[in-house]
Amino acid sequence: GGSKVMKFGKSKAKLVSKESPQVTFADVAGADEAIEELEEIKDFLKEPAKFQAVGARIPKGVLLYGPPGTGKTLLARAVAGEANVPFYAISGSDFVEMFVGVGASRVRDLFSQAKENAPAIIFIDEIDAVGRHRGAGMGGGHDEREQTLNQLLVEMDGFDVKANVILIAATNRPDILDPALLRPGRFDRQIGVDAPDMLGRKRILEVHSKGKPMAEGVDLEVLARKTPGFTGADLANVLNEAALLTARSNAQLIDNRALDEAVDRVMAGPQRRTRVMRDKEKLITAYHEGGHALVATAMNFTDPVTKITILPRGRALGYTMVMPLEDRYSVTRNELLDQLAYAMGGRVAEEIIFHDPTSGASNDIEKATATARKMVTEFGMSSVVGPLKLGQGSGEVFLGRDMGHQRDYSERVAESVDREVRQLLEDAHDEAYEVLIKNRVILDELATALLEHETLDQTALAEIFANVEQLPARPQWL
Ligand code: ADP
């Protein structure tokens, strides 16, 4: 028959045969960073001998993580298509549905088939269904699932690079995966795949509008602007719905009316409704993220902001990226005070603009409080409390008791710690307030640019921030 996908052997895995139409990287739009990382895998699968000859260590497993419909499966198929190798696909939930004792044997079966036909790719969608943290959840583990997971780990550890089989797994819940899966030699390469930004959406629309005749006046860029938060799958759906509407009304060209109606339909679809950002929420997020970035920029001891976005990312509504301080050995007091101030920047912007702050700053407040507490109890940065380490442990949980709360100092010291922490946070709040009031015009400009472009990179930011008024130097400490 004309089936492109056939059932293969005993395993439920589907083999996409070499004869079926190949997906290539050109079919995946707006995911350039992920593609760049996958190029290396493609090169290896194409010419494994070249890599083995020089002893290069190639990853066995690649984890693609991100929201549903962002093209993770498509990317995995594209790697197979580019390298022209067989692609075995199975879903984690298929393993779990199986009868007792079957899951583990299916895993064995799958691996032996892939090895026979190597070089090859095994793709496991929804790996979280088998790979969630062992022993997680109520009432202990799920035996069948754990056996399947264990078998998967055994197989991964058991084949060496010469097997020329690469595993690609996908999940939208990387947070619940068993850490054993992510260890070196397993899924040690992790690639995030996010919902596309405006340019990405335009490129995806271009890919999926091939073979769909558009009426004059249709502008895919305008359509991309109207669809913030849509994934690649949503956009493909929009174009397909529009084509259906057009055919049903016996028209030959897809026009703006059909496209608008298709957007509404897809937006109203069950899985979409929650993900579309409402206008008000978008405005608040633009000011919130703008507040962080502007305060960070006005600080004297903070690295430049490299990127801001108001697109939802994981559980956050948006994010602001400051060059990480991570690989430094120590931080100064002024750098930490700067961090506190820009952590407060989002919340303060909401106060200034809307006078009715949202709960969106809870994570910022949590992080700032933890930093301020460390400054007082670990870094000796409060002259009132003095240079001592207070409290034992770092909040380790032992037998369900939070040891971090076990105090080794007096009630009086505890009170002064609390007062000092509070003072640091209030000062940070005031600094952020001062910056945002002084630079209010730039804050508005920034929010407007974010609403229009959704994501701003370092170059765009440099232009907007050209005239930022810096925070005056803090009085010298001690
Ligand atoms: P995921 O595996 O992340 O849930 P899929 O790869 O299954 O998403 O995407 C479903 C469909 O949506 C794809 O087959 C493709 O038609 C479309 N799609 C998703 N992302 C993209 C993209 N970046 N470029 C082009 N099409 C995409």
Three-state secondary structure readout of 31-100: CHHHHHHHHHHHHHHHCHHHHHHCCCCCCCEEEEECCCCCCHHHHHHHHHHHHCCCEEEEEHHHHHHCCC
Q: 406: pLDDT confidence band, cut at 50, 70 and 90?
A: low
Tell me what the mean pLDDT of segment 289-311 comes to: 90
Residue 410 clears pLDDT 90, i.e. is over it: no
Highest mean pLDDT among 2-6, 33-37, 305-309: 33-37
Q: Region 222-244: what's the mean pLDDT?
A: 92
The pLDDT, as a whole number, for residue 405 is: 53
Ligand 1 atom closest to the Cα of residue 77 is 6
> What value does the mean pLDDT take over residues 408-419?
89
pLDDT (average), residues 362-385: 91
Which of 37-41, 175-179, 280-284, 363-367 shows the highest mean pLDDT?
Answer: 37-41
* Mean pLDDT for the stretch of residues 163-173: 90
Confidence of residue 349 (pLDDT cuts 50, 70, 90): very high
What is the mean pLDDT of the segment spanning 141-165? 77
For position 362, what pLDDT does the model report? 83
Output the ligand 1 site: residues, CB below 6 A: 28-31, 68-74, 170, 204, 207, 232-233, 236
Q: How far is the CA of 193 from the centre of ligand 1 (A)?
A: 11
**pTM, rounded to two decimals:** 0.65
Give the closest residue (by CA) to ligand 1 atom 15: 233
Predicted ipTM? 0.98
Ligand 1, atom 7, residue with closest C-alpha:
73
What CA–CA distance (Å, rounded) separates 337 from 372?
Answer: 8
pLDDT band at 377 (very low <50, low <70, confident <90, very high): very high
If pLDDT is split at 50, 70 and 90, which confidence band does 235 have? very high
Highest mean predicted confidence (pLDDT) among 102-106, 132-136, 175-179: 175-179
CA of 54 to the centre of ligand 1 (A): 36
Compute the distance between CA of residue 292 and CA of residue 297 in angstroms, rounded to an integer.
9
Please count the CA atoms within 13 angstroms of the CA of 191 that sit on its side-chain side. 27
Which pLDDT belongs to residue 7? Answer: 40
**Averaged pLDDT for residues 129-136:** 69
Q: Is the pLDDT of residue 21 over 60?
A: yes
Residue 289 has pLDDT above 80, yes or no: yes
Report CA-CA distances (Å) from 311 to 204, 282, 328, 352, 450: 17, 9, 29, 22, 10
Tell me which range, 92-101, 127-136, 267-276, 382-391, is most confidently predicted by mean pLDDT. Answer: 382-391
Residue nearest to atom 27 of ligand 1 (CA): 232
> Which residue among 4, 74, 237, 240 is best mutated to probe the pocket of ligand 1, counting the most ligand atoms within 8 A of its Cβ?
74
Q: Give the model confidence (pLDDT) of 89-130 as tens digits.
A: 888 877 766 555 677 777 888 888 888 998 999 999 989 888
pLDDT at 136 over 60: no
Least confident of 94-98, 213-217, 417-421: 94-98
Considering the chain, what is the average pLDDT of its residues?
84
| Residue 321: φ, ψ to 5° | -110, 120
As annotated, the active-site residues are: 289
Distance 469 CA to ligand 1 centre (A): 44
Residue 353 has pLDDT above 80, yes or no: yes
According to the model, what pLDDT value does residue 8 have?
41
Q: Which residue has the higher pLDDT, 478 or 429?
A: 429
Q: How many CA atoms lie within 13 A of 23 on its CB side?
A: 19
Given a cut of 60, is residue 5 above it in pLDDT? no
Summarize the confidence of residues 66-77 as an average pLDDT: 94
Q: How far is the CA of 32 from the centre of ligand 1 (A)?
A: 14
pLDDT of residue 25 exceeding 90, the answer is yes
